[in-house]
């Protein structure tokens, strides 16, 4: 029985690399993989083509899906020219609740593997991640380390070196920086910030 998988991690935890390695592994065995990511911005385009790209230097062409688009229709449309054995979604946190529900439907036919962040910089679940945690058959964490050595669980957003906890969930092209840290260090740094 195919399943819906959610593999989550903080930023920089090699989620995209893992998604691409997973795709490679399936393809090595002769399976056809449909690779999809939500279209949020234009950062991940290569010569005009949408790609899933990892910081470690590997990438693969993919289809993009808009927030209001149907995942089921995209899957059915793509399947007209090519039968797919697996659906892999990168940046799945940006999917809508409805799209994840559709992934669940698709997972009754073929395995659906979703890679993404669990929480935003405010430490709350993203819409897609929330739905995945609710309905995925398998949930696994791709672990990362805070600079103190503890497990990193927070995607901290820094503006001018200070942690911010408000603003839009998706903020593209600003001066902000993200670092991953453990909850303790995140709290400590906010306290430090407030001293000045
Ligand atoms: Zn720490």
Give residue 180 CA to ligand 1 midpoint distance, Å: 9
Residues 38 and 85 both lie in one domain:
yes
For CA atoms 26, 82, 102, 2, the dihedral sign is negative
91, 97, 127, 169: the catalytic one is 91
Give residue 145 CA to ligand 1 midpoint distance, Å: 8
Specify if 149 maps to a domain. Answer: no
Specify if 164 maps to a domain. Answer: yes
Residues 26 and 94 both lie in one domain:
yes
Task: Identify whether the C-beta of residue 151 lies closer than 8 Å to the C-beta of residue 143.
Answer: yes
The CATH number for 47's domain is 3.40.50.300
CB environment 72-91: b (16+ within 10 A), e (fewer): eebbeeebeeeebbbbbbbb
Range of the domain at 92: 4-141
Per-chain mean pLDDT for the chain: 93
Tell me what pLDDT residue 69 has.
Answer: 97
Residues 111 and 158 both lie in one domain:
no
Give residue 170 CA to ligand 1 midpoint distance, Å: 24
Q: What pTM does this model have? A: 0.92
Distance of CA 100 to the CA centre of its chain: 12
Specify if 52 maps to a domain. Answer: yes
pLDDT in tens, 29-44: 999 999 999 998 666 6
Tell me what pLDDT residue 194 has.
Answer: 81
Specify if 41 maps to a domain. Answer: yes
Specify if 83 maps to a domain. Answer: yes
Last residue of a domain, one of 98, 116, 141: 141
Give residue 183 CA to ligand 1 midpoint distance, Å: 7
Active site residue 61: no
């Amino acid at each position: 029985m195919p399943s819906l998988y959610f593999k989550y991690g903080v930023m920089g935890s090699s989620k995209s690399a893992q998604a691409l390695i997973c795709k490679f592994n399936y393809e090595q065995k002769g399976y056809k993989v449909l690779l999809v990511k939500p279209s949020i911005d234009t950062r991940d385009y290569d010569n005009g083509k949408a790609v899933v790209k990892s910081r470690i230097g590997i990438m693969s062409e993919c289809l993009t899906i808009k927030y209001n688009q149907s995942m089921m229709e995209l899957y059915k449309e793509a399947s007209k020219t090519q039968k797919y054995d697996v659906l892999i979604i990168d940046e799945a946190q940006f999917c809508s609740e409805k799209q994840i529900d559709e992934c669940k439907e698709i997972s009754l036919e073929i395995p659906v593997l979703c890679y993404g962040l669990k929480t935003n910089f405010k430490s709350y679940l993203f819409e897609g991640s929330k739905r995945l945690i609710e309905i995925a058959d398998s949930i696994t964490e791709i672990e990362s380390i805070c600079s103190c050595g503890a497990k990193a669980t927070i995607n901290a957003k820094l503006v001018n070196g200070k942690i911010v906890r408000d603003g839009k969930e998706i903020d593209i092209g600003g001066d902000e920086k993200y670092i991953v840290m453990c909850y303790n260090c995140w709290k400590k740094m906010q306290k430090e910030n407030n001293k000045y």
